Structure 1
C-alpha cells in the first residue's frame, strides 16, 4: 500500500485518506491458510505509549509517537475540533516520516498508513467528511494555515522517543537475528530539517 505523504496530500484529493480509512478497518499483516486468516503481530507493533485525547498542537511533547498522536487526532475529529485534528495529523505524519529516515527495515515504514486507517475506522462518516474539507484547505494551498502549522511543529521539535512502534511493525521483528533496527550514525538534526522542508514543505 502506498505511503500517505504530506507532499502528496497537498497535491491530491485528501478524500482518498478518508475513503482508505473507511475501506480498511482494521488492517493487519496476515497470511491465508486453508481459508482462515491468521494474524501475525510482533510484540510492540504499533504500540501506544501514551494514551492521549484530543488536544492542541501546543500541548504535544516530543516523546509522543505517531501511535500515540493518531488516536488523539481521531478524537479531535470525533469532537468536531477539525483545526486541531489537522494539526495533529500533520505532526503525526512528520514524526512518522522522521522515523522512516532512521528505521532500517523498509517493510516497517507502512506503520503510519495502518495507524491512519485504524484511527479513523470508527469515526462517523459525516465527521470524516467535514475533516477532509478542513484539511483540503491545506492541500489546496492555504499558506496562512500552512505557516501556522509549520511554526507550531517547529516549536514542538523533533522526536525524542525510540521508534519501537515502527520497528516492531516490520518483517525484521520476526527474524531470529535481525539487522540493526536504526541507521548507523543517524544525523537527527539533518533528518528533522529534511522532514520540515522536504516533507512538510516548511520554509527553510
Structure 2
C-alpha cells in the first residue's frame, strides 16, 4: 500500500470532520494490536479510541478525529498500524512521540536528504523510520526479514528478502539526468539496458557512478559482511552479459573516459552536482549475515560515519 508523505503530513493537521467515523483498537487473529474503523468478527478486545485527547502518543496510539478526514482516513490507519507492528523491530520511536510528530519527521527527513516527493510503500517507510529513529541494542526486539531459499541442482542458497534488490527501473541515461536516490542495484540494471542498446558511453557513466555509490555504502554499513555485497551485486548484474560487451564498458572507462580527459572532467562535474547517495542502503544491509539473525536495521549505519569525508575521498580517487 503506497502513501504520499506530504498528504500524510497534511491530513494529520486537519480540523475535526463530521465525516470522520470512530476508530477502534483491536487484537487481530495474529494477536497483533491494530487500529481499524471496521472491527471484524475474528478481532478481539476492540476498544473505541478516545477522540478528545490533544495528543496521540505512540505508546497508546489514541488517534484523534482531527487527524482523520475523508480518504485520508485509510492512510492514517495504514500508517498507525505500520508503526504499531514494526516499532521496536526495525526502528525505535520514543513512546512520547505523537503520530503527527512522527509523520512530520518523515517529511523533514525526505526534504533534508533531497528525496523525491513520490509515493512510498511499507518497506521504504520502514527504512526511513529506521534512519530517523535507530534502535539501540537495549530497546530493540529481535526481528528479521523473510528468508528465501533457492535450490539449483545440488546447490541450495539462502538470502534475505530485499538483498541486493533493485527497486527502481532507471533506464539508460547519462549521469546528468540521474538522481542520487538510485542505488547501485538500480544503476547496474541501467547499465545492462545501455549495453542492450549499444550505448556504451552512457553505460560506462552509470557503471562508474554505481561503483562510487557502492563504495560509499560499503563504508557506512556497520556489518562488514554486508559491505561485500557490492562485489556480489556486480557479479549477479553482469553474469549473463557477453564478456566482449563488458570489455567494451571497461575500455570506454579507460580510454574514452580516461582521467584527465575532457569527457571524464564533464562526467566528474555531473557526479559532483549529483552528490553522495540520498537513500538508505537497505539493499546492502540485507545482504549481511546479521540480517539472518537479528533486526537488520538495528545500528546498521556506523555512528561515526562521515559522509562528506567519504564522498570527497571517492571524488579525489576517481576524478583527480
Question: Where does residue 308 of structure 2 map in the other structure?
Answer: 189
Q: What's the CA shift for 1:112?
A: 1.6
Distance 2:261 2:199 in 1: 20
CA RMSD of aligned residues (A): 2.5
| TM-score (ref. length: structure 2) | 0.49
Asked if the contact 2:257/2:263 (under 8 Å) is kept, the reply is: no
Question: Where does residue 235 of structure 2 map in the other structure?
Answer: 117
Q: What's the CA shift for 1:54?
A: 1.0
Worse overlay, 138-147 or 123-132:
138-147
RCO higher in structure (CA 8 A, sep ≥6): 1
Distance 1:139 1:56 in 2: 13
Q: Across the two proteins, how many residue pairs are aligned to each other?
A: 170
Could you list the runs of 5+ residues in structure 2 that have no partner in the other structure? 1-148
Distance 1:140 1:58 in 2: 18
1:152-182 residue CA offsets vs partner (Å, 9 max, x unmatched): 1111111110000001111111123666210
Q: What's the CA shift for 1:49?
A: 1.9
Equivalent residues in 2 for 1:117-196, closer than 5 Å: 117-137=235-255, 141=259, 143-176=261-294, 180-196=299-315
Say whether 1:98 aligns with 2:216: yes
Worse overlay, 131-140 or 103-112:
131-140
Distance 1:190 1:124 in 2: 37
Equivalent residues in 2 for 1:54-65, closer than 5 Å: 54-65=172-183
| TM-score (ref. length: structure 1) | 0.74
Question: Where does residue 196 of structure 2 map in the other structure?
Answer: 78
Instruction: Find runs of 4+ consecutive structure 1 residues off by over 3 angstroms.
Output: 138-142
Could you list the runs of 5+ residues in structure 1 that have no partner in the other structure? 1-29
